[in-house]
A = this chain, B = another copy of it.
């Protein structure tokens, strides 16, 4: 998708220039992951014209392997965004009907070749919402992943503008069968599966962490997951958020520290969490390390313009060991 963003803090109705960025939940996760030093690939489709090529260029610039991005379909979906501040919320206008991605068609045989020698398969809940062909392509991939022993993860990422809760639930329940690691934010599990935190009201920025421990546990139990991670965002204002997460392995739970983040660009924050979590779980198989790494990484992402997390391992480690004081590195 193209992300066309009004300049600075301008509103869409007043901006004479849009910054051009390209995004996509899975691409964001992949680039975040690639920054830590491991190869990452994206499977997708862009139209065979200059805007499609510009998308390819943008992704590979930041280290994502675009070998599996097909050329086809009519158009690239668009995300118009304006950045909020203080009491004014950020705004997103979607324009993604008939995007090239909805026509992506990959058979199980093709997935066999793609997933050969790969270790992890991640998707986002916005992908199956793109329609029956996208869903079928995804199911094909998940089946092959399971067959090949590739670990699978999902970021639930419920979006009310894409489908109703009922539609989402019906589809996602099927898909959870193939999933090893679940990731969600403070509202996803309730929206998609009716698993509701008992305390706090996230709509007002109140988070009761303990309630979410219980939500995570129910997710693991219900879908036989290896892990369920939940990010917890306390919306203090459009430019200041609390940020933390928990992870549950069915037996224990692990909490990250909480960061008080002053935001530059929160879009892509969840994706950078997923990217950090996957890398950290592969690296050490230690849920405490993983949740700490993923939260620190995604905290940093939210101080960077654009959807991509452009920090490396050393940057994340520096924050994890406590230097959140922002002293100049020189």
- Taking Cβ atoms with an 8 Å cutoff, the residues of A that contact B are 4, 8-20, 49-51, 53-54, 57-58, 60-63, 74-76, 78, 80, 82, 84-95, 97-98, 159, 161, 203-205, 235-239, 259, 261-264, 266-267, 299-300, 302-306, 308, 310-311, 315, 318-319, 322-330
Contacts and interface: CB of A to CB of B under 8 A. Distances in A.
Given A75-B95, A203-B327, 16 more contacts: A14-B54, A50-B91, A50-B93, A58-B61, A76-B95, A84-B326, A85-B264, A86-B264, A87-B259, A87-B324, A89-B325, A91-B330, A94-B330, A161-B330, A204-B322, A204-B323
B18 A4 contact: yes
Contact of A326 (B57, B90, B261, B319): B90
Contacts of A304: 9-11, 88
Nearest to A233: B327
A304 to B, nearest CB: 6
Number of this chain's copies in the complex: 6
Most B Cβ at <10 Å: residue of A17, A239, A264, A327: A327
Contacts of A161: 330
A84 B54 CA distance: 17
B267 A86 contact: no
A288 to B, nearest CB: 20
Given A19-B16, A75-B97, A305-B8, A323 B203 contact: yes
